[in-house]
Chain A
Amino acid sequence: MPADTDTPLDRKAVFAIVRDNLAEILEREPGTIAEGQSFSDDLEADSLALIELVEALEEDLAERSVELRIEDEDLEDLKTVRDAVDYVYARVQEA
């Protein structure tokens, strides 16, 4: 789906981006993904799935004219969907 570059990225929008990309990678319905879920315990996402997510997020945000590089060393701190949303939202604010 083409990115909507006119919509400002508030936290809710960032969650939607993270959720939708995660849903596609994990072959799940977006509605089954919640902020409080753990990547490993609840969503059974392994390290390669997280790398897929990071690459997809960078690409998705670039289409919205937000240049974002998620550092590999920061990945270890992202344990839950909320961690990822908070991280991306903070970086988007800085950008």
Chain B
Amino acid sequence: MLPIAVDAMGGDKAPGEIVAGARHAAELGIPIVLVGPEDLDGRGDLDLIIATEVIEMDDDPAGGVRRKKDSTLVRAAEAVRDGKASAMISAGNTGATMAAALLRMGRIKGVNRPAIATVIPVPGSTPTVMLDSGANAEVQPEWLVQFAQMGAVYATDRFGIQNPKVGLLSIGEEPGKGDQLRKEAFSLLEGAPGINFIGNVEGRDLMKDRVDVVVTDGFTGNVVLKTLEGALRGVITALFDALGSDPANQPHTDALMPSLLSLYEMFDPDTYGGAILLGVDGVCIISHGSTSAKAMVNGIKIAQEMVSAGMVEQIRNAIAANA
């Protein structure tokens, strides 16, 4: 397998945590090529694609990609395009990562717009894949059908879910619920071949075993994602505060701690390693800005799994079959 291109300079903790994660992944047998400056610290014997510029978190995404042609992000995307890498991963500027992948790798033929797919943990079951989580603030009904097709391929490749159940995020389960976009999308999804459409789902269904893939516009998806992250963090903080509020709780807390840590692990974004940009002609993992070495390792593993599964080719076939 070709190496996975790791943007060494992307993220709040770059390059230290990123390079550490990349080295750990290499120790696990995953081929890696770092993309960064010639004097990148701590890379050991990992291969390096030299890039002299960095697209900062506050740079305009598309403008940054156009102006900084020798940036780590652009060079990573070009490595995939030019057949020097099998996938790319970055914890840098999300919009710029998307723009670099789109402008350098290109879109899969027939795909209207790429979408960011994120993974939402579901206690006791396989996670839910939600897309779009922020690539397209406004969408057209037809795009949501493609999001469903791409999300279904990802759910199968990532979690082994056969014939995944697809839901349309709305404000009620009945077909007539929602705005014009949801109503039109419902009708299109209902008639789309190859999609196991179960109808509308609500926000409360995301963390249940009711649905495997949830499609929505990028604005709504991003609000949902951030709300979930904040709410889960709030609940976990409140839980630990409550346990620590009375010394008499300590023995019970000690007894519960292994289970609580396991729960915390399930809800920890680092466990999932990042989101994936679906619809571009290559595997592109978009990691959280605060990515740690652990999250980077997990993100690299996802990239490797999706390359091995032939996800891009499967999406190409799914889109072509329903064109």
Contacts and interface: CB of A to CB of B under 8 A. Distances in A.
A48 B63 CA distance: 10
Given A27-B112, A51-B99, A52-B103, A46 B138 contact: yes
Given A48-B102, A52-B103, A27 B66 contact: no
Interface string A25-61: 0110000000000000000101110011011000000
Contact of A51 (B103, B110, B112, B136): B103
B140 A47 contact: no
Given A27-B112, A46-B138, A72 B99 contact: no
Given A27-B110, A27-B112, A51 B62 contact: yes
Nearest to B63: A72
Interface string B119-140: 0000000000000000010101
A46 B114 CA distance: 13
B66 A72 contact: yes
Interface of B: 62-63, 65-67, 99, 102-103, 110-112, 136, 138, 140
Where chain B touches its partner, the secondary structure class is helix
Contacts of A44: 140
Interface residues of A, number: 11
B322 to A, nearest CB: 13
Interface of A: 26-27, 44, 46-48, 51-52, 54-55, 72
B138 A55 contact: no
B21 to A, nearest CB: 29
Query: Which are the 8 A-B pairs with shortest beta-carbon distances?
Result: A51-B62, A72-B63, A55-B103, A27-B112, A48-B62, A72-B66, A52-B103, A48-B99
Contacts of B62: 47-48, 51
Given A27-B110, A51-B62, A54-B66, 11 more contacts: A27-B111, A44-B140, A48-B99, A51-B65, A51-B66, A51-B103, A52-B103, A55-B66, A55-B103, A72-B63, A72-B66
Given A27-B110, A27-B112, A47-B62, A52 B138 contact: no
